[in-house]
Amino acid sequence: MPSVAVVGGSLGGLTAALVLADVGCDVTVYERSASALEARGAGIAVLDETVRWFAERTDTDPDKLCSTTRWIRFLDRSGGVVHERDHPYRFSSWNTIYRALLAELPAHRYRLGCEVTDIAGDGVLTLGTGERVRADLVVCADGIGSAARARLLPEVTPTYSGYVAWRGTLPETELRPATFDRLSDAITYQVLADSHVLVYPIPGPDGSLEPGKRLTNVVWYRNVTDLDALMTDRTGTLRQVSLPPGAARDDEVRRLRADAAELLAPVIAEVLTAVPEPFVQVVYDIEVPRMAHGRMCLIGDAAFAVRPHAAAGTAKAAADGWELAASLVAAGGDVDVALPEWERRQLALGRDLLRRNREIGDASQRYGTFVPGDEKLIFGLRGPGR
Ligand SMILES: Cc1cc2nc3c(=O)[nH]c(=O)nc-3n(C[C@H](O)[C@H](O)[C@H](O)COP(=O)(O)OP(=O)(O)OC[C@H]3O[C@@H](n4cnc5c(N)ncnc54)[C@H](O)[C@@H]3O)c2cc1C
């Protein structure tokens, strides 16, 4: 089997490294962060593919990494229930899944502080340290701002969707008892004019799944015309993809809280106005015409970055890795044979997911056709609920 260099050690890169090592590849992950990626992001809805590694290859029960909810519930402005459906979901936090995946990979296969500054067509990587390494296959899992994509496909640029996600978490201990009761066993939505907001419980910072000891995660999709104004942080720096916790300017946070108090159902407003450091992720569409380039391939957000409405971003990243391993096995380890077939399947998956998410997002944020309880809103990688 080929030697593999994985560029980027987040959920996509880690999953790819694990499944490729499992089929006999000699794998090393190069992650630019100098320390283990602990403080990243907030909640994620978890689909089977995201935790497939644990289900199929370990004794770890995926349910031990995820909070669960029973209900999908839509509230109106007054807090009344406009739609409710018994449909279980799993949620986790980026940190929880990351820690669990990282623990599965032998330490010598995961190199922190290794920014990849150049990738040559023959599989030679140059690291920020000046070191050069060679691999038979280079898997680029370097995320939405992928330098590998920019180099291989300079014509592909992110398309701004017209809206951002304001996000944050709050310990369940800080909720009023009635609010906790309303939110703790559901994903709770509210549909507003050209917008929607959702709330769900995720594991606590220590991984606790016990109701009352978890975090409440909130995501509010808001249309933003003057993106540069929002994305200019409190130090005056213009950011492209996200404003991490603490970076948004006070005037923007004040406006968010005032709008939450005015527009949101009381239980959702209670969460949003109390989140100490709300943060922003800009929602982009990125579509690539190719994922394989010689002995290199793009996976996860480095290839297709899709809007989050099907909650399938990490599942797609994981699926790219699993399918790559399967294609290599089928090709007897021959990279040149494996990649074209793999690319054909994963391009189709990425295009379909991009289209579905765009439709859901536009129905909410542009056309006002986003209906509580619509079957299309059920999370899924390959279709609603699938
Ligand atoms: C608002 C919002 C909500 C979301 N909700 C969900 C959800 O509920 N469920 C879900 O599954 N997904 C969700 N997603 C999507 C999900 O976050 C992404 O799809 C997923 O994180 C992509 O993983 P990745 O490994 O491809 O990239 P990333 O997580 O972006 O990781 C890229 C890694 O590469 C590293 N890197 C970058 N450049 C270099 C370099 N030159 N050298 C070395 N390392 C490098 C970075 O440090 C980083 O660790 C959401 C996204 C958004 C914006």
Per residue in 254-278, pLDDT tens?
999 999 999 999 999 999 999 999 9
pLDDT of residue 38: 61
CA atoms within 13 A on the CB side of 135: 24
325-357 tens-digit pLDDT: 999 999 999 999 999 999 999 999 999 999 999
Phi, psi values for residue 87, rounded to 5°: -155, 110
Q: How far is the centre of ligand 1, averaged over its atoms, from the C-alpha of 266 (Å)? A: 32
pLDDT in tens, 193-204: 999 999 999 999
Residue pointed to by tokens 């021959």:
334
Rounded to the nearest whole angstrom, what is the distance from the C-alpha of residue 40 to the centroid of ligand 1? 9
Whether the pLDDT of residue 39 is over 80: the answer is no
Please count the other Cβ atoms lying within 10 Å of the Cβ belonging to residue 108.
7
* Domains of the chain as residue ranges with CATH: 3-62+95-158+285-368 (3.50.50.60), 71-89+160-284 (3.30.9.60)
Q: How far apart are CA 149 and CA 284, in angstroms?
A: 15
Give CA–CA dist 35/113, Å, rounded: 7
Q: In what order do the strands lie in the sheet with 292-293?
A: 110-111, 26-30, 3-7, 137-140, 296-298, 292-293
In which band, very low, low, confident or very high, does the pLDDT at 35 lie, cut at 50, 70 and 90? Answer: confident
What are 339's two structure tokens?
């990649």
When pLDDT is cut at 50, 70 and 90, the band that residue 37 belongs to is low
DSSP code at position 106: -
pLDDT for the residue 36: 67
Confidence of residue 24 (pLDDT cuts 50, 70, 90): very high
Strand 186-192's sheet: what is its strand order? 43-46, 81-93, 67-75, 186-192, 195-202, 215-223, 159-171, 279-285, 242-243
pLDDT tier for residue 159 given thresholds of 50, 70 and 90: very high
**What is each CA distance from 295 to 134, 357, 363, in whole angstroms?**
11, 30, 39
The band of 157, judged by pLDDT with boundaries at 50, 70 and 90, is very high
Place of tokens 């907030």: 42
Q: 301 C-alpha vs ligand 1 centroid, how far in Å?
A: 6
Q: Pick the atom of ligand 1 nearest to 148's CA.
A: 41
Q: Tokens 């399938």, residue?
A: 312
Tokens of 45: 């809805």
Distance from Cα 142 to the centre of ligand 1, integer Å: 8
Q: What is the structure's pLDDT at 42?
A: 81
What residue has token string 């990738």?
A: 119
Among protein residues, the one whose CA lies closest to atom 18 of ligand 1: 313
Q: What is the mean pLDDT of residues 20-49?
A: 88
Distance CA 186, CA 279 (A): 23
